[in-house]
Amino acid sequence: MRKIKSLCILIAIVIYATPSFSQTPKVTKHENVVYGMISGMALLMDIYQPANSNHIGIVYVVGSGWGYPNDYQKVYNQVPLKDDYFLDPEYTGKWIKSLTEKGYTVFVINHRFAPRFHFPDIFYDCQRAVRFIRYNAKKYGIDANKIGAMGHSSGANLSGMLGVTDTAIVKPENGIDSMSSKVQAVVALAPPFVLSERNMIPDTALANFYMRAVQNYVGDLSNYQNAVSIDKASPISYVTNDDAPFLIYYSEDDPIVPAKQTELMCKKLKETRVPFKEFKKTNEGHNPIPDMKEVDSWFRKYLK
């Protein structure tokens, strides 16, 4: 099984990255770019840079429940988040490919995983990625002042957090640390915006999976500090009128993240006059299908 998965990944990489003899490659892939170091461990991203660049950069955060049961480097059947592009071509890969075809430079990032790591460390990795991208914007041909974020599930939670917070480093040690970590537009798919809001049907396998994932992310909720962290890790807690506009896709029958989370977030965005647009889908569960023409229009509107 391991050999088969490795072969599939290799074939996908070759098909995507290798040009035919009759045309120039349309996308340049910068693989395993180190955007930070944590105790000797490299934080990596893959960068997809289209030849027809529109000079807009998008951070893409893949959904993973904020982590895997063990470190992905030690579990053969799990891979870094950024490689989900190849393993899930009908969902994650489809949206990333669509973005590059439309001229966006896409930065697909890894972050540390729960339960070995928790909030806020996992979120800090995402902020570090934005700082790195902003600092190196000229190198990758994008506008440093306007960067977007897109993500699914836990990746939508982290993307949303990037749109509503900006943690300043008091004593920056280098140019990257002095950069803003906030993005200027967000697209969220099946987003956990209010982590304390459980599914309406308790004690089901998927509902329990959600609560386990949340507890892995913020820590055991029987501990008071962790119970406080569940709000701190929720994008709804930070919404103010100067936040990034949100384009949101969710499904009324999502068995993992209840639709009420998005409904509460939209109410908050409306109250604070943050631009947003929501699409409530039916029969799409935890994998709502975004209209990529709408996504393109949203990013161009707020990032051009």
199-249 per-position pLDDT tens digit: 655 556 777 888 889 999 998 877 766 777 899 999 999 999 999 999 999
Q: Are 190 and 249 in contact (CB under 8 A)?
A: yes
**pTM > 0.75: yes or no:** yes
Statement: residue 130 has pLDDT above 70 = yes
Picking from 5-9, 18-22, 66-70, 192-196, which range would have the lowest pLDDT averaged per residue? 18-22
Statement: residue 27 has pLDDT above 60 = yes
Give residue 78's pLDDT: 47
Give residue 143's pLDDT: 97
Give residue 131's pLDDT: 98
Q: Please give the average per-residue pLDDT across 134-151, as a whole number.
A: 97
Calculate ∠ Cα 263-99-24, nearest 5°: 175
Who has greater pLDDT, 98 or 210? 98
Residue extents of the structural domains in the chain: 28-303
- CATH 3.40.50.1820 describes domain 28-303: yes
Q: Are 69 and 76 in contact (CB under 8 A)?
A: no
Give residue 184's pLDDT: 98
How many other C-beta atoms can be found within 10 angstroms of the C-beta atom of residue 272?
A: 14
Q: Please give the average per-residue pLDDT across 107-133, as a whole number.
A: 95
Picking from 13-27, 45-59, 183-197, 287-301, which range would have the lowest pLDDT averaged per residue? 13-27
Tokens 């120039």 locate to: 24
List, for residues 34-82, the tens digit of each pLDDT value: 999 999 999 999 999 999 999 999 999 999 999 864 443 443 344 578 8
Report the SS3 class of residue 281. strand
Q: Are 151 and 158 in contact (CB under 8 A)?
A: yes
Give residue 71's pLDDT: 41
CA gap 294, 98 in Å, rounded: 12
Q: Please give the average per-residue pLDDT across 18-47, as a whole number.
A: 79
Give residue 21's pLDDT: 29
Statement: residue 116 has pLDDT above 80 = yes
Mean pLDDT score across all residues of the chain: 87
